[in-house]
Amino acid sequence: MTLFKRLGIVLGAVALAIVAQPIDSTQAQDDRFIIVQSTTSTEASGLFEYLLPKFENMTGIDVRVVAVGTGQAIRNARNGDGDVLFVHHTPSEYKFVADGHGKRRFDVMYNDFVIVGPEDDPAGISEMDSVTDALTQIAESGEPFASRGDDSGTHKKELGLWSATDVNPQEDSGDWYRETGSGMGKTLNTAVQMGAYTMSDRATWLNFGNKDGYDILVEGDPRLFNQYGVMVLDPEQHPDVKEGPAQAFVDWLVSADGQQAIGNYRLKGEQAFFPNAN
């Protein structure tokens, strides 16, 4: 073999090594991010903007959030689109795990829902302690009510509250009952524009900038409790899940440090979420 042929083989091997190196590096970098399927309220409230840099700076793991309604987030996760599910409809979360799509579910935090509406309160609900009585009175008054209508955790909760009344609001869809098919922020904007009542999670309401003569009118009913849960997608069902980084994120959320970070988040000086991991 001539010197030039031997040199060609060596240079070829070096070139292959140089080409291969960026691929391995890219794959390693790809392993340093996870996708979280989550509800809109965790983003619209500003919680993730506050929370995620703390985890990312500590671990180097980039957290990329898909913020949609809880129903859509669960459907996405069932399709294997993501690594972590972080939503707020406990029965749906336990079913997700029971169906083999998620590993162990953890309580993370809670807050509550509130009924908001015009400060002049044309339906006269502001003195009511019962959310179902307030909803019934809104329906009887014919004043507009804006529903998210998007199968989100908030929408599921709202429908559950209506089911405890004698009113089926969907029979009046398009009349006094208006379904926006949108997230919480857009639904609040729609409610303000049309002078309608609506139900919101408290954190999104606190962070909402277009209150314009609107206020919380009904709060404090225990039935307005709003629990959030988190879980890693099950790699046996979804083999592309980045189980290690995903579990690290969940473990941090329910750790003392993660729980303290959640509890420290304030909106307008008010605590937005209350940590309650077991």
Give the CATH number of the domain where residue 151 resides. Answer: 3.40.190.10
CA separation for the pair 176, 276 (Å, rounded): 38
Burial of 210 (0-12, 13-18, 19+ CB in 10 A): exposed
Any domain includes 15: no
**Cβ contacts of residue 117 below 8 Å, gap of 6+?**
123, 125, 191, 196, 197, 198, 214, 215, 217
Any domain includes 13: no
Any domain includes 2: no
Token pair listed for 107 = 């309580």
Segment 74-89 shows an average pLDDT of 97
pLDDT band for 18, please (50, 70, 90 cuts): very low
pTM: 0.85
My answer on whether 133 and 237 are in the same domain is no
My answer on whether 119 and 213 are in the same domain is yes
Any domain includes 138: yes
104-128, pLDDT tens digit by residue? 999 999 999 999 999 999 999 998 9
My answer on whether 122 and 53 are in the same domain is no
Domain span holding position 136:
112-224
Segment 14-31 shows an average pLDDT of 42
Q: How many domains does the chain fold into?
A: 2
172-222, pLDDT tens digit by residue? 999 999 999 999 999 999 999 999 999 999 999 999 999 989 999 999 999
| Whether pLDDT at 2 is above 50 | no
232-274, pLDDT tens digit by residue? 999 999 999 999 999 999 999 999 999 999 999 999 999 999 9
pLDDT band for 278, please (50, 70, 90 cuts): confident
My answer on whether 78 and 207 are in the same domain is no
| Whether pLDDT at 25 is above 50 | no
Q: What backbone torsions phi and psi does residue 250 show, to the nearest 5 degrees?
A: -65, -45
Supply the mean pLDDT for the chain: 90
Any domain includes 25: no
Token pair listed for 214 = 């609107």
Share of the chain above pLDDT 70, in %: 89
Give residue for tokens 């080409």: 19
The pLDDT, as a whole number, for residue 30 is: 56
| Whether pLDDT at 91 is above 70 | yes
